Amino acid sequence: MDITLTWKTIGNLTDGQAGHAIDAAIARAVADLDDRGDDGKPRVVTVNLILQKQRGIPSAEVTAKASLPTYRTERTACRVMQRQSRRGPEAVLNFQDLAPDNAEQDTIDKHIQDD
């Protein structure tokens, strides 16, 4: 069947793969909106229609992308420590997993002995 390329037929390109790609990007954005949408940040779905000639033959290609806000955690306090490696001393960051607000905090796990 001969189909004219319009906004209504973009999803039919590559035997429907273009439509599936667009739907997947929309689904990803909607799922993230449902999961963390109270942050007030937009989810953006971008669909690109790329038209070009390859070896003299016109072609159409579709890309679809969901742009989501960055996942961000609370900050964890760390301290710089020196440790010895094969290459010599190197700086590393240490943190207390049981006290994320204070890297110097003494935690109970240091006082529990495995028997």
pLDDT band at 48 (very low <50, low <70, confident <90, very high): very high
In tens, the pLDDT along 7-19 reads 999 999 999 999 9
SS3 label, residue 33: helix
Average pLDDT over residues 69-87: 89
Report the distance separating Cα 45 and Cα 57, nearest Å. Answer: 29
pLDDT of residue 115: 57
pTM: 0.71
Q: How far is CA 38 from CA 6, 22, 23, 25, 28, in A?
A: 35, 24, 23, 20, 16
pLDDT band at 114 (very low <50, low <70, confident <90, very high): low
Q: How far is CA 1 from CA 4, 15, 81, 92, in A?
A: 10, 12, 69, 64
For residue 81, what are its two tokens? 């420590």
For residue 49, what are its two tokens? 């229609």
pLDDT band at 74 (very low <50, low <70, confident <90, very high): confident
Report the distance separating Cα 23 and Cα 79, nearest Å. Answer: 45
Residue 63 · residue 50 · CB < 8 Å: yes
pLDDT: which is higher, 114 or 56? 56
For residue 40, what are its two tokens? 């007030």
